[in-house]
Each structure stands twice: as C-alpha cells, then as structure tokens.
C-alpha cells in the first residue's frame, strides 16, 4: 500500500506552495506528479525541480502512476499532485488508494464558475467531484495548510 500523505489538485503542479509548504506540512519526501503532458516534457520537469529542495520528484503519466504507485516503499512518503479532478477520478478508478483530495488551484477560464478565489469549475468538474464524493473520497478546498478547509460538495 503506497504511503500517500497528500493528493492535491493544482493546475500549476509543482511550485513553492506545493514543494515547500504542503510537502513539509504533511512530511512528504517524494512528490509524484501524475500528468500525461509533463511526464514527457523534460523542460517542464526541470523547471518544477527548481522549486524542490531536499525532496525527490517523479513525473508519471496517469497510467504509469496507476501501474507504479503500488511499488512504492514504506519509506516513500508521497505528495501526489495532479492538474484536474478528472485525473483524480482516473487514478481512483485505476485502484490508487486516494481517500482525501486537497483542491488548491483550478484557474478561472471561459465557461467556469468561480467558487473561491483560487477554484473555478465547469459542469464536467462538478460532475467529476460528485462522482468522487460518491466513491467515498473527501474533497476539501484549501489553499494553504493554515486555512480552514471547505467541502467542495457544499459549494456545487
């Protein structure tokens, strides 16, 4: 069973807030980015690695994450970072044991409704969050550890 301490939706993936604040808060020593695009882009990986100090990183596609996360050792304390709720749903349906999701950043764009200052959703996002909720996943909007979390289900 992989030791996943944090699963976070953040469309910026790795940046200072994730690399320092959240990882230290949960005690992670490995950041796994599950994203099909970044898994094949060494330039984006190098840029994200610049934000990380004293911690290992892995960049996997969604399918690689499903296939490999169960091979993690007990010593690997994992912060799992994804871009979208749809990615989380694929991971959960693929057997990754995710029980709680921290929703940090989902940028506003055309067709999205702003729920909080950092989280905007469209109808597909709402549908996906409801499905994750039905699968027993706790879904909390929380930008930084010191903030009080909000259950996204109560907002959609």
Q: Would you kindly state where each structural domain of the chain is located, as residue ranges?
A: 3-154
Distance CA 33, CA 141 (A): 19
Catalytic status, residue 15? yes
**C-alpha triplet 94, 98, 101: angle, nearest 5°:** 125
Strand partners, 34: 60
CATH superfamily of 3-154: Phosphotransferase system, sorbose subfamily IIB component (3.40.35.10)
Give pLDDT tens digits for 96-121.
999 999 999 999 999 999 999 999 99
- Selected catalytic residue, list 15, 25, 107, 133: 15
Going by DSSP bridges, is the β-strand pair 113-114/150-151 parallel, antiparallel, or unpaired? unpaired
Question: Average model confidence (pLDDT) for the chain?
Answer: 95
DSSP notation for 112-140: -EESSSSBEE-HHHHHHHHHHHHTT-EEE
Give the pTM. Answer: 0.94
Give pLDDT tens digits for 11-44.
999 988 788 889 989 999 999 999 999 999 999 9
């Amino acid at each position: 069973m992989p030791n996943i301490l944090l699963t976070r939706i953040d469309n910026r993936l790795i940046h200072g807030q994730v690399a320092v604040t959240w990882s230290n808060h949960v005690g992670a020593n490995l950041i796994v980015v599950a994203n099909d695009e970044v898994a094949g882009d060494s330039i984006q990986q190098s840029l994200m690695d610049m934000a990380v100090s004293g911690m290992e990183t892995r960049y996997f596609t969604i399918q690689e994450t499903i296939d490999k996360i169960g091979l993690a050792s007990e010593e690997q304390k994992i912060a799992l970072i994804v871009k979208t709720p749809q990615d989380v749903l694929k991971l959960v349906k693929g057997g990754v044991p995710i029980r709680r999701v921290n929703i940090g950043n989902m940028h506003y764009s055309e067709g999205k409704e702003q729920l909080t200052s950092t989280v905007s959703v469209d109808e597909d996002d709402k549908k996906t969050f409801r499905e994750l909720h039905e699968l027993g996943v706790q879904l909390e909007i929380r930008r930084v550890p010191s903030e009080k979390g909000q259950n996204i289900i109560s907002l959609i």
